[in-house]
Amino acid sequence: MPNDDKYRIDSGRVSKSNKTLFIFVGALILAAAIAVAIAVPIALNSNVKTNLETANEILDKYPIIDGHNDWAWQFRDNLQNVINNISLWDDLTEVYPDSHTDIPRLKKGKVGAQFWACFVHCNSAHKDAVRQGLEQMDMIRRFIEAYSDTFQFATTAKDIEDANAAGKIASLIGVEGGHMIDSSLAALRMYYALGARYMTLTHSCDTPWADASNRNYSNGGLTDFGKRVVAEMNRIGILVDISHVSDQTMKDVFSVTTAPVIYSHSSARHLCDHVRNVPDDILQLLKENNGIIMINFYNDYVTCSTTANTTDVADHFDYIKSLIGVEYLGFGADYDGVTRVPTGLEDVSTYPNLVAELLKRGWTEDELRMITRDNLLRVLRKAESVARPSNDPDETWISASSVNYPCRT
Ligand SMILES: *[C@@H]1O[C@H](CO)[C@@H](O)[C@H](O)[C@H]1NC(C)=O
Ligand SMILES: *[C@@H]1O[C@H](CO)[C@@H](O)[C@H](O)[C@H]1NC(C)=O
Ligand SMILES: *[C@@H]1O[C@H](CO)[C@@H](O)[C@H](O)[C@H]1NC(C)=O
């Protein structure tokens, strides 16, 4: 049975090579299956990780400049400004669970510069607000000095860059509330002399010369003296912060300021209809002014509810970018000034999560560099260049009748 034999032989050969083939193919399939089983989760994982890793790399190059942090208020409220016997190098998460700030977390969050808020409550207005304000200036300057391995006092755009080149967190001061100057241009100049580089015209109370966002609108915006306050701020080179003021005050400021203004911690009213946020028509004025809005993370201003997350905050960035452009955006998280923060943005260590979310939405490195640093540096440089410190100081006093308070002699 040659045929049979042949067949058998052939068959045997075929059969043998088939077997090898099957084993080979089987092994290939198994190997492929194992490869897929390992590679897919890695790939998915590295997708998630890539945005965060890229965010961290970008922030290493362009560390965050944040417009508003109330750590100094925590010291006053919890420690009566006694900080000599605590260590700010420690992770303070356990000790002060409601606080959002400490040095390890600032470093993890890649914070390169912080405007520390010099804040005192409105209940001190027309009483001891100036003294309390000075105590907060002292507090901020003391912790910058005591932790000079980490912080470096800064008052100019160049100071910010120098501090970062030295590996330090540039530390600037913003006075949060015009009540701290007690309607005195001389007091304003002295806060500047102590290092303040923005003043929020009001906190949650009208001053005798400017209306706050949430009170009586007793002045109808900015008074003539209020316009002098803005002009004097422009002259000496302290940024005019219009977070917290009424819409009319904002508009009046835009009509008189010669320098770009800041919102140190406000968000978009289109997404959350709250008086602390900025409506679209006024965002257009900000664009004309070449100023900056530094986005607030407080849940109540992000979603107008008690809950929010990273997605919700990123929406404010996307919205304002689409409305007026990326050149006018920055970060003003308001850590330690608020009681509710978004899931994913729980404290100062979490800025990279937001940057990762923006990367996911297609934001480019150039755009991210603008919102982390360049926009604020541009505003600060412009305010420095329009300042005229050698021009005569404004010696006008506010009219006695508009500050007729019992504590004033
Ligand atoms: C710091 O000192 C004050 C009194 O001077 C004391 O009440 C407080 O418990 C001390 N805090 C720590 C963390 O040691
Ligand atoms: C608002 O008006 C009320 C009543 O006149 C007054 O008691 C209160 O002090 C005012 N508040 C501010 C912030 O001006
Ligand atoms: C944020 O919450 C919304 C629902 O409100 C959800 O659709 C979204 O996925 C959440 N984002 C994150 C990053 O968890």
Helical spans, DSSP H, in 115-206: 129-146, 157-165, 185-193
Q: Judge whether 9 lies within some domain.
A: no
- pLDDT for res 4: 35
Residue 5: pLDDT above 60?
no
- The answer, yes or no, to whether any atom of ligand 1 lies below 6 A from the CB of 82, is yes
Give me the sign of the Cα torsion angle 126, 132, 138, 142.
Answer: negative
CA 255–ligand 3 middle distance (angstroms): 39
Percent of the chain predicted with pLDDT > 90: 82
Q: Closest Cα to residue 232, out of 115, 397, 379, 67?
A: 397
This prediction has a pTM of: 0.87
- The answer, yes or no, to whether any atom of ligand 3 lies below 6 A from the CB of 342, is no
The DSSP bridge partners found for residue 169 are 151
CA 85–ligand 1 middle distance (angstroms): 6
Q: Judge whether 146 lies within some domain.
A: yes
C-alpha span between 379 and 241 (Å, rounded)? 12
Q: Judge whether 121 lies within some domain.
A: yes
How many CA atoms does the CB half-sphere of 403 hold within 13 Å?
20
Q: Judge whether 362 lies within some domain.
A: yes
- pLDDT for res 8: 34
pLDDT in tens, 365-396: 999 999 999 999 999 999 999 999 999 999 99
Residue 267, sorted as left (phi over 0), alpha (psi -120 to 50) or beta, turns out to be: beta
Q: Judge whether 2 lies within some domain.
A: no
List the catalytic residue out of 179, 244, 274, 316. Answer: 244
Q: Judge whether 378 lies within some domain.
A: yes
Q: Judge whether 25 lies within some domain.
A: no
- Residue 304's CATH number: 3.20.20.140
C-alpha span between 119 and 244 (Å, rounded)? 13
- The answer, yes or no, to whether any atom of ligand 3 lies below 6 A from the CB of 344, is yes
Domain assignment of residue 378, given as a range? 52-386
pLDDT in tens, 221-276: 999 999 999 999 999 999 999 999 999 999 999 999 999 999 999 999 999 999 99
C-alpha span between 351 and 330 (Å, rounded)? 12
